[in-house]
Chain A
Amino acid sequence: MQIDVATPMRAGTASEGPSALSVEKVTHRFGSRLALDDVSLDVPRGSFTALLGPNGAGKTTLFSLVTRLYDNRTGAIRVLGHDVRREPAAALSRLGVVFQARTLDLDLSVQQNLVYHATLHGIGFGRARQRAREALDRVGLVDRAKDKVRQLSGGQMRRIEIARALIHRPDLLLLDEPTVGLDIGSRAALVAEVRRLIASDGLGVLWATHIIEEIAPGDRIVVLHRGRVRAQGSFAEMVADSAGDLSAAFLALVDEDGASGHAGDAP
């Protein structure tokens, strides 16, 4: 396997300003278990960056560090140039998140869920309602605003969660395996939705997944396995040595140290 490990960091190049997200040399352990080992990655603005890794690779741990659920004791994590440790408020206010687990209040209406989230970002109720309508409009669910979340389908809930993550107009959107549990149609629609947002708003998106089909030519890819970044670069760079087959390239990367147990997780 010849893929170059980790292309050089592009964070902070003068012409573009800081990256949407830059993670530098972050190591994290839970007790004696090493969850992330010297992880560095970069999500430029306006890019779709896929964080590709089998289950247990450390994707959720990385998300927890970026969202300040845990503290990064080593290295640095910056959102739009704001260090999450030193300027948590500045970093978190530019960040939208869709967690892997469903985090909507099922008994509240769609609009109530969105307005609540807006107030958590200090947006007053009147403006929050307006933003909620706008955000729902973008994901095509404005007619469901008054419905209880419980009445929606899984795919619709995910779209609501994306609308919610956008309500405070972040520059970086994190999605942790957002298509888990969705059928193929909803999955494709969701990916297309997020790609539209990148095109229209120039958001930086970090999309964690273990599903190769969600990745398109033109995306940036970071392969994370057993807490380490095995490779990162453009789609073309990734598949250069495997005749355009990303699946093969990915399996080779995660297989190379005999992790056959994990390889089965990737379809």
Chain B
Amino acid sequence: MSFVPNRAASRLPLSGYLICMAGICWRESLRFVNQRGRFLSALVRPLVWLFIFAAGFRSVLGVSIIPPYETYILYQVYVAPGLIAMIQLFNGLQSSLSMVYDREVGAMRILLVSPYPRWFLLLSKLVAGICVSLLQVYAFLAIAWFWEVEAPPIGYLTVLPALLLSGLMLGSMGLLMSSLFRQLENFASVMNFVIFPMFFTSSALYPLWKVQESSLPLWYVCQFNPFTYAVELIRFALYGQFEPFSALVVAGCSIVFLIGAIIAYDPSAGLMGRRGGPDAAK
């Protein structure tokens, strides 16, 4: 250590950015491995829906042939993409909210004293969260395969970019919410006010034309729910097809949420500083 300020160190080299992002992803994966309970519950939740809910409803709800499906499908095949999106929704909100409110609060402060720009740190955090969600999704798909949810082999590859995009949207949404709403301190209220409404007012459980038949206002709500488009993007991608409109909506929402989160966490925008004082950040 020297008294002389090291000028060279004030320029952050590109390799440092990569190291920083790799470090954030590495830590997230270590935590993931350490928390087997979290992995298990992330897996059990959609499987309960698949095994019990879908089994119960397969006789009630007949799903006619709609794209991307080319034949009549079982109800569990229809709900699988929605359940995948639900995994990502839980994961995105859980990691973002715990980051601010739970014991990770301290870790957040450590993250933010890194000399790298804040947008980059938040993006790295999101990328790390998406990596974890991918593990959960593929584990789910592997089990669902034995439950007659069989996508074409290529679909398991083509769904990957869709998962990255939807993971980015849901993760940045969580990040934005975590910075804006201090009331959402416990996960139960997040479940009530965010996860369930988003999940139920989307095309995850029933095709939108069915919703339109039964309730027009609800159909409008579904149309304005970004989660619907995440589900549809995943649904088409799982069958090797690209759904441009959904991709556009999901990408657009990702950008809006991400910019919102970056502004909210930017010290010069001061959203954190204006609310509450030091206790708000402890």
Contacts and interface: CB of A to CB of B under 8 A. Distances in A.
A159 to B, nearest CB: 16
B109 A69 contact: yes
B267 A68 contact: yes
A171 interface: yes
> Contact size class for B?
35 or more
Contact of B3 (A45, A100, A118, A169): A45
Interface string A58-77: 00110010011111010000
Nearest to B278: A60
Contacts of A196: none
A124 B115 contact: no
The SS class assigned to the A binding surface is: loop
Contacts of B278: 35, 60-61, 64
A103 B107 contact: yes
A118 B115 CA distance: 11
Given A85-B268, A120-B114, A80 B5 contact: yes
A30 B1 contact: no
Interface in B261-275: 267-270, 272-275
A92 interface: yes
B34 A107 contact: yes
A91 B17 CA distance: 17
The SS class assigned to the B binding surface is: helix
Given A64-B281, A108-B27, A122-B116, A30 B267 contact: no
A103 B106 contact: yes
Interface residues of A, number: 58
B15 A122 contact: yes
Q: Closest 6 A-B residue pairs measured CB to CB?
A: A119-B23, A122-B16, A103-B106, A70-B273, A90-B10, A120-B114
23 contacts: A30-B275, A30-B276, A30-B277, A45-B3, A64-B281, A68-B112, A69-B112, A69-B281, A70-B272, A71-B267, A71-B273, A73-B270, A89-B116, A89-B117, A93-B9, A99-B110, A103-B106, A108-B34, A116-B23, A119-B20, A120-B20, A120-B114, A171-B3
